[in-house]
Structure 1
């Protein structure tokens, strides 16, 4: 009676060991691939950055000066300051990817451009929420739509903009659907972990 149990136990141990070895091999293989890719990236020569999708901040069309509080003024100041800097949405690209594409010597500049972008969309979301809370719905919409135009992956921006379309603006049902549907291609192009969450949010709002 004990032999079948003992045999089953031995088989289970062997299967577990095989699974562990396979997992270890896959991990080691992925690590080797990563370091080989990183090695190539570090030797990639500097390339022109002319083809980057630089973001132009539309200072003339954004609703500056509508609120008179410290937080709003700070958001506005930051956004104005970024208008004179290079801003590029590089969300979802690793440093290795960027070095392979544009050359290792450009990584410092590219990191700065990406940090500028993160600062931009973070402050657009904050500013849009402040305008929303002040019941300046059209102004909030303008700010948040600009954020989505840049390809932001801030889930709260899409959530707030969807609420504006559905509940705060004088839109017909067809206009609401059209506005929300127009955000789906933007969400589809996202390269971040929030992509599926944003797509689900938009789909459920239709």
Structure 2
């Protein structure tokens, strides 16, 4: 009775060793590929940045005149005014290696600054929209959020709030459009956002 069990145990050990070896080889191959790609990226020369998808803040379409006496909203306004004169580009989901390969290693610090500007923009728009919504200005909050989402923000709260406003307005069909956009995001928050919108759409 013990022999079949022992044989099964030996087979399991052999299989486990094979799987571990296969996993190790795969990991080593991926690591080697990464460093080769990184070395190539570091050798990439500076390239023009004219083709970047720069984001412009549409002040003429945003409710800049509302609740300016509220210090929290005024702070949002101040941040947006500072960003107005700064290059803003959304690089969410794009690695530094990919940026260097595409635009040249010497441009990396510059591109990271552009992306930091975008992160600040996305967070500020969400905060501003929520403050206006809580103050009873749902339509104005919607305008802010629609602009934010047009830039492919991955702030999940922006999708949640905008889908709530659409539901309140009886425009649930617009949530389907949000869902399509969210499904194309490159962010690690993509699945969370898609789930939020699927629940809202139901």
Q: Deviations over 1:58-79 (max 9, x none)?
A: 1122112422222221111111
- The SS at the match of 1:127 is helix
Residue 203 (structure 1) aligns with: 198
Q: How does 1:30-109 map to 2 (within 5 A)?
A: 30-67=30-67, 68-109=69-110
Gaps (5+ residues) in structure 1? Answer: none
Residue 132 (structure 1) aligns with: 133
Measured in 2, the distance between the counterparts of 1:65 and 1:179 equals 27
Measured in 2, the distance between the counterparts of 1:7 and 1:62 equals 73
Deviation at 1:200, TM superposition (A): 3.2
Q: Deviations over 1:96-144 (max 9, x none)?
A: 0000000001101100000000000011001111111111111111111
- Tell me the C-alpha RMSD between the 2 structures: 1.3
Deviation at 1:181, TM superposition (A): 2.6
Contact 1:59 1:80 in 2 (8 A): no
TM-score, length of structure 2 as denominator length: 0.94
TM-score, length of structure 1 as denominator length: 0.92
Measured in 2, the distance between the counterparts of 1:9 and 1:203 equals 46
Measured in 1, the distance between the counterparts of 2:186 and 2:142 equals 24
Residue 19 (structure 2) aligns with: 19
Gaps (5+ residues) in structure 2? Answer: none
Q: Which moved more, 1:73-82 or 1:182-191?
A: 182-191
Measured in 2, the distance between the counterparts of 1:182 and 1:84 equals 31
Q: Deviations over 1:41-68 (max 9, x none)?
A: 0001111000000000011221124222
Number of matched residues? 200
